[in-house]
Chain A
């Protein structure tokens, strides 16, 4: 109702913003073009450092944009959620994004192999492609949850095949969501655990869990784990075919390029897992089962820019409360653990353990009201952490 008094009300503005996000999500389509655009600049100017631009974009420009544009306070109400949740428009964006991720990866592979670059510039190109591979895993994560929708599940496999991380849907849906914020979960980080230590537990642990879950499923179907129905093997075949083809067409430089791009993509995902539940613990009930995953068991960030680019993944409590809800309807909760910035900056800080610990450990301690029995902590540091932080207020 433009013109009426209503149009100036906060509620109207909120729903107008939420509706406009419909178009802002196209940023996810533009994101994979950033390495390509910077590569074009590198070629035109003859300056190989441009190939590093996406790395700079991730760790400097995005954190600055999060700082400048701030928090997204808008939450869709139930009525709007009903309207948005089955709108296929939001799914179609992700199909376009899937195509763009492959265009970006192959495009960068072409640029790296068809021009003369220093090894340092090639490293920048590979890490830039790795950042984009990491974002591709976010899109794959979103589609991989929609297990009732065959085309989204297929697209999830295709986009995650960019970096050869196709086991992630199984591991994440059936493993992580079930065991999140417990010591048993290799994808939930512990207080005092650096990201480097975490990655050694998370990467192999996640793969093993995915493989055993998929083996169990295939056994129930009476099939071998080595059959083509194995949903880890399917995307892996796509990755292997594409990588072999690029190696044949673009030459041996593809070996370091593709390995670094894939590895850095995985690293982005490890960063996400690291920051999402750091130190948070679900308590065990008397019957031996863990309490249900509640909103207070995830770290959240409500920063506008990174949420638009990461399909609102940072509204993480709502994602765990409703794993099958599509990204456009995810809500922010009041009084949930909050990160001081969006993921891009948190990922950067996480790579410097002393900075991470000094920023986040006090937040975990405050969350647990200084009761270390309520914290998911690194068992190797148990005594040290207890003596430093354990100080519960007795009632």
Chain B
């Protein structure tokens, strides 16, 4: 298994508790300029929800 595949298997999802938007690392947020595959930890600290723009990164909820 390559490192790439290993990463894919652990791609995570984070949910905006306000509007329900889900940030999937595998999909990124293309319109906002975060390519598919952009990991959560690579997003800036002031990353806002790309849908409602009020929830900031620390307030997102990790989906298990």
Contact = CB atoms under 8 A, between A and B. Distances in A.
B52 interface: yes
Contacts of A322: 18-19, 52
Contacts, number: 36
Given A177-B53, A217-B32, A324 B19 contact: yes
Contacts of B61: none
A377 to B, nearest CB: 24
A36 to B, nearest CB: 37
Contact of A178 (B19, B34, B53): B53
A173 B33 contact: no
Contacts of B32: 217, 220
B36 interface: no
Given A322-B18, A324-B19, A174 B53 contact: yes
A220 B34 CA distance: 7
Interface of B: 18-19, 31-34, 48, 50-54, 56
Nearest to B33: A220
Q: Which of A147, A173, A324 has the most CB of B within 10 A?
A: A324
10 contacts: A147-B50, A174-B53, A178-B53, A178-B54, A217-B33, A219-B33, A221-B33, A320-B54, A323-B52, A324-B19
**Chief secondary structure at chain B's binding surface:** loop
Contacts of B54: 177-178, 293, 320, 323
A80 B45 CA distance: 37
Interface in A187-222: 216-221
Contacts of A293: 54
A174 B33 contact: no
Please name the 6 residue pairs, one residue from A and one from B, whose CB atoms are nearest each other, closest first. Answer: A220-B33, A221-B33, A323-B52, A174-B53, A324-B19, A173-B53
Contacts of B18: 322
A320 B53 CA distance: 11
Interface in A101-141: none
Contacts of A220: 32-34
Contacts of A173: 53
Given A147-B51, A217-B33, A323-B54, 15 more contacts: A148-B51, A173-B53, A174-B48, A177-B54, A178-B48, A178-B53, A217-B31, A217-B32, A289-B56, A293-B54, A323-B19, A323-B52, A323-B53, A324-B19, A324-B51
